[in-house]
Amino acid sequence: MGLLAVSAVLAIALSFARFPAALLLGPMLAAIAFGVGGARLLLPRPLFLAAQAIIGCLVAHSVTPEIARTIIDDGALMVAAVLVTVLAGVVVGLTLTRLQVLPGATAAWGSAPGGAAAMVAMSEAYGSDPRLVAFMQYVRVAAVVLTASLVARLLVDVSAEPASAVAQPFPLTSIVATLGIAALGTGMALVLRMPAGALVGPMLLGAALHATGIASVAVPGPLLDAAYAAIGWYVGLRFTRETLLTTLHALPGILVATGAIILLCGAWAYGLTFLLPIDFLTAFLATSPGGLDSVAIIAVGSKADVSFVLGVQTLRLFTVLLTGPILARWIARSAPDASA
């Protein structure tokens, strides 16, 4: 009840301040405080997957065939944007390894820019410390959400009411169809072992059905608010007192590494504005290193080009998942010999 109350207060305050994704940011900050404060709370994973599926449907409502045209027209630069972000993670991982702030494989998995949950699971299978990897990943996700929300708040005109894809009332048939798409898309993606399947499955299925007119995707406000809050709690509650104490010696290096990745990606985003007819907010969200669901929420809630942002973010997610094991082994081999 305390977490609910504090989350509500922070979300309302951030909403009045016109922060995009206030209902994500408020619960996340509250959950971080409660988790580090010793509250042994945990959001059940099925609820987190359900929240991701709802966000996938929200994105599907906003995605049009333009996303395919965007990938075709700007494919080379989108690939370049992905490679620069991945390279930034590699540079940071190598630096942490060379300075012996973290073990090589742990630094590599923790610095991988995307797919936090997948990186934690894969790191454990490859012999890294999943606690350190989880802490690095979720510190970065939280930092990206905070930074992206702040950038969006500064760059979006708050004198006008932002347009909302879910503000109007929806017919019951559309809501039922959306829930069906969420369940079916999630099930299919999980069976196919698709990365971030609970988000990507409903997003792809819903976008195809919505764009072709076969089904109308609609996400009612209360359901969307609950999904925002669930994702915020899931990320925030990962910051426990025990994890913080375990990683305290590496915390300065982790914070510096997180800031370095965000700055490198932000600089590349600025460069993209000279190469493509996109605004800085769109470029910043597209190159933000991690948290596809969180970035999608901010992109939809602001005036960014959702198609471009999601195109780059989705492409990077698959790239990181495919190259993660190779890069982790390479960075681990580059670590100084402890026996020397």
Q: Mean pLDDT across the chain, nearest whole number? A: 79
Q: How confident is the model at residue 85 (pLDDT cuts 50, 70, 90)?
A: confident
Comparing 258 with 132, which gets the higher pLDDT?
A: 258
Q: What is the pTM of this model?
A: 0.69
* Cβ neighbours for 226, distance < 8 A, ≥ 6 positions apart: 51, 54
Q: How confident is the model at residue 160 (pLDDT cuts 50, 70, 90)?
A: very low
What's the fold here for domain 2-333?
Na+/H+ antiporter like fold (1.20.1530)
Q: Could you give the angle at the alpha carbon of 207 between the alpha carbons of 201 and 211, nearest 5°?
A: 160
The pLDDT value recorded for residue 165 is 42
Q: How confident is the model at residue 141 (pLDDT cuts 50, 70, 90)?
A: confident
Comparing 20 with 313, which gets the higher pLDDT?
A: 313
The pLDDT value recorded for residue 3 is 94
The pLDDT value recorded for residue 124 is 63
Among 85-89, 181-185, 287-291, name the most confident range: 181-185
Comparing 183 with 175, which gets the higher pLDDT?
A: 183
The answer to whether the CB of 133 falls within 8 A of the CB of 119 is yes
Q: How confident is the model at residue 339 (pLDDT cuts 50, 70, 90)?
A: very low
What does the block give as tokens for 88? Answer: 């930034």
pLDDT at 331 over 90: no
State pLDDT tens for residues 225-270: 898 899 889 888 888 888 778 777 778 888 888 888 888 888 888 9
Comparing 43 with 118, which gets the higher pLDDT?
A: 43
Instruction: Report the b/e string of 326-335 with b at 16+ CB within 10 A.
Output: ebbeebbeeb
DSSP assignment string, 27-67: HHHHHHHHHHTT------HHHHHHHHHHHHHHHHHH--THH
What ranges do the domains of the chain cover?
2-333
